[in-house]
Structure 1
Amino acid sequence: MKSAIHIISLLILLLLATAQCKDDDTQIFRAYAEGTISYSDAKFLQDPIHLVKDGKIIAETYPKDNGNFVLAGPYDKGIYKLQLKQYKIKSFSTETKGCRLSADSLAIEIPDGVTYVIFNNIELK
């Protein structure tokens, strides 16, 4: 009986000793976006705001009553978007260079390499 416990203990120790953390995690960064959205229709508060990378949602939040929002999600490289579900963006202001309004006005494209962006104001149509 004691030898069976010793063998099981050794197997568990061996498994723990050979377990490794993924090296990939050290290469993953986070994308942060925050700001204020000016809106006139209170229904806007019911729709989520997303960060989207390659067609996949990497972060989701709902705006506060004052229009403020904060988003953070995994990011490695490439362009990503701050995307609204159905409300079109009229204009936006930020200190971050290279951000631009998408053709459908539902998103703001954030350039490759930018991991933190503050939108001073996003005005909806």
Structure 2
Amino acid sequence: MSGGPVSPAPDGIERWVVATCRELGVELDGPDGDFFEAGGTSLAATRLIARAEARYGRDALPPDDLFAESGVRAIAAAIGRNARRATAPDPADADETGPAGADETGTAGADPAGAHPAGTGEPRAGRA
């Protein structure tokens, strides 16, 4: 297995939602069930969201989606919709400047020539 997000198939996601909810103590009867009507709590919702992200990728099940429509089919549809987005690289995640906090020398806070205050990329006053 690759470790990346799992490619979603609608009926497979529904089965996963039901099985995962049961593991969390939410006794759903099947794909027609509703997470909250079956006894789902906010703690169980948080755990379901975390497990969905671990299996299907980041933001696979946003809290707003779960709280807006808590039926198994709606949850599975949200995961399927969001998991497809999670499999594509997010251009906003690309960092062209290198490691966080690094200046143009590639070091964080260190400036061997003393020309730039830590991480600003701007020359210090009085130096060229």
TM-score, length-scaled by structure 1? 0.28
More strand by share: 1
TM-score, length-scaled by structure 2? 0.27
More helix by share: 2
Larger RCO of the pair (alpha carbons < 8 Å, separation 6+)? 1
